[in-house]
C-alpha cells in the first residue's frame, strides 16, 4: 500500500507477546476473535466516496479546466474573471454555441494599450515549469482578413511565463488549438489573450487544460486529485451533491441533461454555494457542467466504483425555499430519472443511449442504483418519491432506489421518514450525520438494533465536526474510525458509506472539514482521508466477532473493535481504536480460528497528536505507518497505543 511508510514511528510502542506478561493481569483486556455461526457478507461496494460540487470541487478543482468563465456565460456577469483592455463588446448575435450564446468582440484599433483580455483562473492558475498546456478557443474574423492572437502565461510577478501565437483566418466560427509551455512554476499565473494586428475578431470558449490530465483526456480531470480518489479504492461513488441537486430554486437544480453532449454547449448553472453562506461568499462560483454526468460515469468506470447518481425529486432545497413542482407536473422530473438510467445503460439505439454513444461510450455504464432527492423532509417527499418508485420499478426493476431520512441523524423528521421509506420499500435509506466527537464515540452501537428486514442503510454523508472551527484534526479522524467499527460490525444492514464533503480549494471553500484540500498545484490528504482509505483497502468480505467479556467492543474502556475475514486474501483483519489517553494492554486470542495462523502479521498504526492536521505545507503530520509483528500460539499480546487507530492483518494458512 503506497500510502504507508514502511518505517516504525519513534512513538510506536507495539510490544510482542512476552512483553505484556509483566502487566498486572487485571489491566489486560482479552479480546476473542470468533467466527460467527453464520458469517455476515460485506457488500463489495460498501466503502466509497461522495463527490459534491462544493468548495470549488468541480470547476476549480477536479475538473482540470484552468480558465474561469471560459464561455462568458457567468450569470449577469459575462466578464467575471476577465480583465479586458481596448475596445470590446459582449455580444450574442449569431453565436458559436446556441446554449452558450455570449462571446466577446475584440477590436484592435492600434491604441497604445492594444486589445485583449486576461483570465485570472480559479484563484490563479497553477503552472509547472516545462509542462505543456493545451489552449482551445473558437473565433471568427469580422471584416478583417486575418488576426494574429497571442496566448501568454503571465506569472504572478507580471513577467511572461511562456507564449504562443495563432492566426485566426476565417470569418466563420472555427476551432483553434495551440500548446503553451510554462517557463516557470507558479501557483497563481494568469492567461493573457492579446490581438497582434489591426482588425476585429469574435472569440468564445477560451479554454486551457494541462496536457497531462487523468488518463490524458482532453476534457479531463486534474491528475493529482483524480489519483487521490483512485488511491482510496472506492467501490461506490455518489455524485454530484448534496444540496446542489435540489437547487435553491427548482430552476437552478442540477440538471444532468445539461451536463452531457459537446462540452462547449453545456449551459451554465449557478452553484448555490456561490451565495448560501454569506461568511464564505463566493460570487464567482458557477457550474459549467464541464465535469458532467458522462465524465462522472467514466471516472467511476476507471476506478472500479459503482456509480450512484442523485437527482432532484421535485422539491427545491427545503432549507432555502418552499418551492416544489406541482404534483401534476412531477412527470418531467420522473422522466429525467428514467432518461438518466437510459443514458447510462440504454442501447445505442435509444434516445439517451445514443447521446452516450455519440460521446464515445457505446457500451453501457452498468448503472445499478439511483438516489432520488437529497435531504428532504415532510409529507411531500414520500408522496413525490412514490411516483419515481412506481415508474422506475416498472421500467427498470433491477435498479436500486435510494431514499432519504432527511438532514438529521435523528429527531422528528428522521422518525417520520424511516417508516415512510419502509412503507415505500426503497432499497436504501440515505442517512446524514455531521456531528461532534461525542456523538461519534457514543454511536458505535447505532446500528446494532436496526431492523434487518427493511431497507438497508446508506451512510451517505458523515464527518466528525471537531470544535468550533471544524478542522480536519487527527481527533476527528480517530472518532470516525471508532464509529466506523460499528458500520463494519453491522454490514448486514449498513450497505454503503461515504464521508463528506470530499474536496476543498484552500482559497475558495465554503464548508469544512473536507477530505482532500488543494491549491492550484498541490493537494493534501487529511487524517480523515487515511481513515477512509484504511477501511476501503481492508474491507474484507465477511464480518466476524471481536468479543471482550462476552460483548462486542464499542467504547468499553475506550476501545472500539471490529473484525472481518477476507476470503480472497485468506486474511483476518482486526480494526481497533483506542480513544483513551493511556495505552491499553490487550491479549488477542485467536484460538477459536480453525485454520493455522502465520507467525508473521502486519500492524498498521495510525497515531498523531489529537489536534494535528495535515496541511499543504506539512502534509505528513498524520499518516499511517506499517510494520511486521510476530504472533505466537494464536495469541497476539500487545499494547494498543493511546489515542490511536490500528489494523492487524493476520494470515491464515
> Least distance (Å) from ligand AHR to the CB of residue 93?
39
Q: Which of 155, 374, 528, 626 binds ligand AHR (CB under 6 A)?
A: 374
**At 72, is the secondary structure helix, strand, or coil?**
coil
Does 511 bind ligand AHR (CB under 6 A)? Our answer is yes
Enter the C-alpha cell of residue 529. 482521508
Three-state SS for 106?
Answer: strand
CA distance 329 to 188: 47
Q: Compare residues 306 and 375 and give the one whose CB is closer to ligand AHR.
A: 375
163 DSSP β-pair partners: 152
Is residue 103 within 8 A of residue 204, CB to CB? The reply is yes
Is 143 an active-site residue? Answer: no
CA triple 586-592-598, angle to 5 deg: 75
Among 52, 295, 413, 643, binds ligand AHR (CB under 6 A): 52
* Closer of 162 and 309 to ligand AHR (Cβ): 309
Distance CA 425, CA 269 (A): 34
Residue 420 as a binder of ligand AHR (CB under 6 A): the answer is no
Give the whole-angstrom CA distance, residue 218 versus residue 206. Answer: 14
* Piece in contact with ligand AHR (CB under 6 A), picked from 125-133, 225-233, 236-244, 281-289: 236-244
Count residues contacting ligand AHR (CB under 6 A)? 13
Answer yes or no: are the C-beta atoms of 485 and 560 closer than 8 Å: yes
Check 375, 387, 480, 639 and give the catalytic one: 375
What's 150's DSSP letter?
E
- 572 sits near ligand AHR (criterion: CB under 6 A): no
CB of 254 vs ligand AHR, minimal distance in Å = 11
User: Could you say which of 48, 60, 121, 241 contacts ligand AHR (CB under 6 A)?
Assistant: 241
Binding window for ligand AHR (CB under 6 A); candidates: 62-70, 237-245, 308-316, 445-453: 237-245
CA distance 133 to 116: 20
Kindly tell me the sign of the dihedral angle through the C-alpha atoms of 458, 464, 468, 470.
negative
Find the part of the chain contacting ligand AHR (CB under 6 A) among 121-129, 215-223, 238-246, 439-447: 238-246
Tell the smallest beta-carbon distance from residue 499 to ligand AHR (Å): 10
Binding mask 286-315 for ligand AHR (x = CB under 6 A): ------------------------------
Closest CB 375 distance from ligand AHR, rounded Å: 5
Residue burial 327-347, b: 16+ Cβ < 10 Å; e: rest:
eeebeebbebbbbbbbbbbbe
- Please state, in angstroms and rounded to a whole number, the distance separating the CA atoms of residues 530 and 233: 12
Give yes or no for residue 243 binding ligand AHR (CB under 6 A).
Answer: yes
User: Which range binds ligand AHR by CB under 6 A, 10-18, 101-109, 241-249, 599-607?
Assistant: 241-249
- Out of 121, 210, 242, 624, the only residue in the binding site for ligand AHR (CB under 6 A) is 242
- x/- map, 471-510, ligand AHR, by CB under 6 A: -----------------------------xx---------
Grid coordinates representing 218 are 482532453
CB closer to ligand AHR out of 101 and 460: 460
Nearest residue (CB) to ligand AHR, 54 versus 399: 54
- Using the CB atoms, write b or e for 11-30: b if 16+ within 10 Å: eebbbebeebeeeeeeebbe
Nearer to ligand AHR, 50 or 648 (CB): 50
CB proximity list for 296: less than 8 A, separation 6 or greater:
51, 237, 239, 240, 307, 309
Q: How far is CA 243 from CA 141, 169, 315, 418, 593, in A?
A: 43, 45, 11, 20, 47
Identify residues 435-464 at the interface with ligand AHR (CB under 6 A).
Answer: 461
Q: Which residues bind ligand AHR (CB under 6 A)?
A: 52, 54, 241-243, 374-375, 407, 432, 461, 500-501, 511
Active site residues: 375
Amino acid at each position: 500500500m503506497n500510502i504507508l511508510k514502511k518505517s516504525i514511528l519513534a512513538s510506536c510502542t507495539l510490544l510482542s507477546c512476552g512483553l505484556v506478561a509483566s502487566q498486572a493481569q487485571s489491566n489486560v483486556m482479552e479480546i476473542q476473535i470468533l467466527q460467527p455461526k453464520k458469517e455476515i457478507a460485506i457488500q463489495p461496494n460498501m466503502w466509497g466516496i461522495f463527490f459534491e460540487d462544493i468548495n470549488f470541487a468541480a470547476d476549480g478543482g477536479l475538473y482540470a479546466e484552468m480558465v474561469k468563465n471560459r464561455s462568458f456565460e457567468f450569470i449577469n456577469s459575462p466578464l467575471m474573471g476577465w480583465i479586458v483592455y481596448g475596445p470590446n463588446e459582449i455580444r450574442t448575435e449569431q453565436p458559436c454555441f446556441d446554449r452558450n450564446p455570449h462571446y466577446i468582440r475584440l477590436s484592435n484599433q492600434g491604441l497604445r494599450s492594444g486589445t485583449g483580455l486576461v483570465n485570472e483562473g480559479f484563484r490563479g492558475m497553477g503552472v509547472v515549469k516545462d509542462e505543456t498546456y493545451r489552449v482551445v478557443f473558437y473565433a471568427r474574423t469580422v471584416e478583417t482578413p486575418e488576426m494574429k492572437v497571442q496566448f501568454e502565461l503571465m506569472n504572478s510577478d507580471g513577467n511572461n511565463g511562456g507564449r504562443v501565437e495563432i492566426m485566426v483566418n476565417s470569418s466563420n466560427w472555427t476551432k483553434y488549438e495551440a500548446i503553451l509551455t510554462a517557463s516557470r512554476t507558479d501557483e497563481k499565473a494568469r492567461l493573457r489573450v492579446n490581438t497582434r494586428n489591426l482588425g476585429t475578431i469574435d472569440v468564445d470558449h477560451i479554454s486551457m487544460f494541462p496536457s497531462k490530465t487523468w488518463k490524458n483526456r482532453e476534457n479531463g480531470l486534474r491528475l493529482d486529485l483524480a489519483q487521490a480518489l483512485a488511491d482510496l479504492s472506492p467501490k461506490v461513488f455518489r455524485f454530484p451533491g448534496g444540496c446542489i441537486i435540489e437547487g435553491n430554486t427548482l430552476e437552478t437544480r442540477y440538471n444532468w441533461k445539461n451536463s452531457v453532449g459537446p462540452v462547449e454547449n453545456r449551459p451554465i448553472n449557478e452553484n448555490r454555494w456561490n451565495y448560501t453562506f454569506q461568511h464564505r461568499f463566493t460570487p464567482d462560483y458557477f457550474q459549467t457542467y464541464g465535469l458532467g454526468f458522462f465524465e462522472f460515469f467514466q471516472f467511476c468506470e476507471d476506478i472500479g466504483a459503482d456509480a450512484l447518481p442523485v437527482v432532484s425529486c421535485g422539491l427545491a432545497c427545503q432549507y432555502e425555499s418552499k418551492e416544489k413542482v406541482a404534483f401534476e407536473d412531477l412527470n418531467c422530473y420522473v422522466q429525467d430519472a428514467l432518461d438518466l438510467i437510459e443514458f447510462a445503460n440504454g442501447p445505442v439505439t435509444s434516445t439517451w443511449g445514443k447521446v452516450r454513444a455519440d460521446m464515445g461510450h457505446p457500451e453501457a455504464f452498468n448503472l445499478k442504483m439511483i438516489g432520488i432527492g437529497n435531504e428532504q423532509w415532510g409529507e411531500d417527499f414520500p408522496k413525490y418519491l412514490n411516483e419515481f418508485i412506481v415508474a422506475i420499478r416498472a421500467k427498470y426493476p433491477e435498479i436500486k432506489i435510494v431514499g432519504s431520512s432527511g438532514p438529521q441523524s435523528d429527531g422528528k423528521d428522521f422518525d417520520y421518514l424511516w417508516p415512510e421509506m419502509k412503507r415505500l420499500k426503497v432499497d436504501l435509506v440515505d442517512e446524514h450525520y455531521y456531528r461532534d466527537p461525542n456523538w461519534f464515540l457514543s454511536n458505535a452501537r447505532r446500528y446494532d438494533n436496526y431492523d434487518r428486514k427493511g431497507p438497508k442503510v446508506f451512510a451517505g454523508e458523515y464527518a466528525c465536526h471537531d470544535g468550533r472551527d471544524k478542522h480536519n484534526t487527527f481527533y476527528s479522524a480517530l472518532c470516525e474510525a471508532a464509529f466506523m467499527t460499528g458500520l463494519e460490525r453491522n454490514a448486514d444492514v449498513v450497505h454503503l458509506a461515504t464521508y463528506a464533503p470530499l474536496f476543498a480549494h484552500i482559497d475558495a471553500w465554503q464548508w469544512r472539514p473536507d477530505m482532500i484540500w488543494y491549491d492550484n498545484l498541490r493537494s493534501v490528504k487529511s487524517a480523515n482521508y487515511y481513515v477512509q482509505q484504511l477501511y476501503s483497502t481492508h474491507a474484507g468480505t465477511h464480518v466476524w466477532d471481536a468479543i471482550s467479556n462476552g460483548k462486542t467492543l464499542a467504547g468499553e474502556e475506550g476501545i472500539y473493535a471490529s473484525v472481518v475475514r477476507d476470503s480472497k486474501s485468506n486474511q483476518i483483519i482486526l480494526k481497533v481504536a483506542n480513544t483513551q489517553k493511556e495505552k491499553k494492554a490487550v491479549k488477542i486470542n485467536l484460538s477459536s480460528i480453525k485454520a493455522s495462523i502465520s507467525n508473521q502479521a502486519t500492524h498498521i498504526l495510525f497515531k498523531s497528536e489529537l489536534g494535528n492536521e495535515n496541511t499543504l505545507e506539512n502534509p505528513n503530520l498524520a499518516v499511517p505507518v506499517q510494520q511486521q509483528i510476530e504472533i505466537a500460539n494464536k495469541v497476539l499480546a500487545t499494547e494498543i497505543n493511546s489515542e490511536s487507530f490500528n489494523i492487524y492483518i493476520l494470515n491464515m494458512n
